[in-house]
A and B are shown apart, each in its own frame.
Chain A
Amino acid sequence: MARIIPGTLGPFRGKIGDVEVYKDGDKQRARIARCPTSIPPTEGKESQQLRFTLVGNFFNKVIKTINMGYRANSKVKGIGAAISDHMNSATIGTFPNFELDYSQLHVTRSNNGFHGGFQVSLDSHPDSKVTLNWNALTKLREQYPGVAGPEDLVHVTFFNVTKQRAIEYFSLAERGAKTVTCELPYGMEGDVFHAYLYFTSDDGKYVSDSDYAGSFTLLE
């Protein structure tokens, strides 16, 4: 059944016969409607579906970061690029027992060789606080115009594995600060987290590859 909604292809959206019209971003598209098949999926196909679900579930939860860190183009959206990047590299195990390798995930990708952090590490403190540390080169301003600077902004994304929920912090500090302390929301004490840290230029034009800061259990 199609709904009567004004669109570029006339006043309908949905499925009529074998044709379905759908909205993809700001574009309306039409395609042959998918139909159920009685042919069982092959192992390769099931393996692909399992890995897609695993990686897709993670990236759907950090969508704000993905929209910032993966530049969409006319062919691929940010989330599509992120999933495609990690389907093989960030999944471990054998069919059908796949797991995510959180240390291999990148929540952002550099678009011009923009510098990430060095020696990224974290310390978990009581009262739900976490300190992230990184190191920076000394001659950033003079030596690396356009690819790194002491005023670059630091952003942090935490992923709560226990509750399968992401907590994203933006513009927490400048690169030159070399440390930042975050307070995580109440009620997550004892949960296991993974942390990712990345930088953007102060004008927001460039983004670095994210660095995996490590995993920790939040202390009360």
Chain B
Amino acid sequence: MAVNRNGGNRPTGKVGNVVIRELNGQVVTSGLGERTKPFTQGELKNQDRIAVINKLLRPVKEFIKVGFHQITANTTSNYQNYAVKINNPGALKLDGTVVETDYSKAIFSKGNMPAIAHADIKVTDEGIEFSWDPNWKLKGMKDSDRVMLLALCPSKETAYFVLDGNKRSSGKDAVEILHFNEQVILQTYLAFIAADRKSISTSIYTGEILY
């Protein structure tokens, strides 16, 4: 993507296989160069990190579209690159050359509404039930806020979610998941969104569960 900088009519950057850049005071357009030198250790590490983050975010695209909509509105950022920015390296465990996801630190929504301190999860016949204290309130929280639930299944690279759940005042809601043939580990998250969709809380990690 080439960008028009300084309000001028001279975009610079890459469009397809063409690179537009400034060279010795004049704007030149050239074909894309072919890299022949090997990647450095830092570059390889960064590629590994991006691969892990993309694997984390791929199943939750629809969730982060809502979760980061408000924080990226009227900015040049969008939900996808904001999600990468906030989770890299925040949600990564870097152990030497091995890069792994730290699910407890992953964030799938961000906003000004205060997040709740704690929520419980339990397995039911239909899926996973989330419960929270409906009387625990801070400034910015309303009874009419809707809960957003997310259960991420890393082994299946799939996510199950509710974008418009019960009201905060109800104290509980569930995400429907049917049992697999084998047991899987689900990572669960919860956030609240205002009824008018103008404010949202940062998602909280509610733990992992064997399902």
Contact = CB atoms under 8 A, between A and B. Distances in A.
A binds B: yes
Interface of A: 110-116, 118-121, 135-139, 143-147, 209, 211
Given A113-B58, A113-B158, A118 B176 contact: no
Interface in B147-200: 156-163, 176-181
Contacts of B157: 110, 113, 209
A212 to B, nearest CB: 8
Contacts of B161: 143-144
Task: Kindly state the interface size class of chain B when it binds its partner.
Answer: 10 to 19
B61 A113 contact: yes
Given A110-B158, A113-B159, A146 B178 contact: no
A119 B178 contact: yes
A120 B163 contact: no
Chain A CB count within 10 A is highest, among B163, B180, B181, for: B181
26 contacts: A110-B157, A112-B58, A112-B59, A112-B61, A113-B58, A113-B61, A113-B158, A113-B159, A115-B158, A116-B158, A118-B180, A119-B180, A121-B181, A137-B160, A137-B176, A137-B177, A137-B178, A139-B176, A143-B161, A143-B163, A144-B161, A145-B62, A146-B61, A146-B62, A147-B159, A211-B181
Contacts of B177: 137
A136 B157 CA distance: 17
Given A116-B158, A209-B157, A135 B178 contact: yes
Q: B interface, by DSSP: helix, strand, loop or mixed?
A: mixed
A126 B90 CA distance: 57
B174 to A, nearest CB: 11
Contact of A209 (B156, B159, B160): B156
B158 A119 contact: no
A116 B157 CA distance: 10
B50 interface: no
Contacts of B180: 118-119
Contact of B162 (A110, A114, A143): A143
B8 to A, nearest CB: 34
B128 to A, nearest CB: 13
A198 to B, nearest CB: 13
Which has the most chain A C-beta neighbours within 10 Å: B58, B59, B60, B157?
Answer: B157
A56 B157 CA distance: 24
Contacts of B156: 116, 209
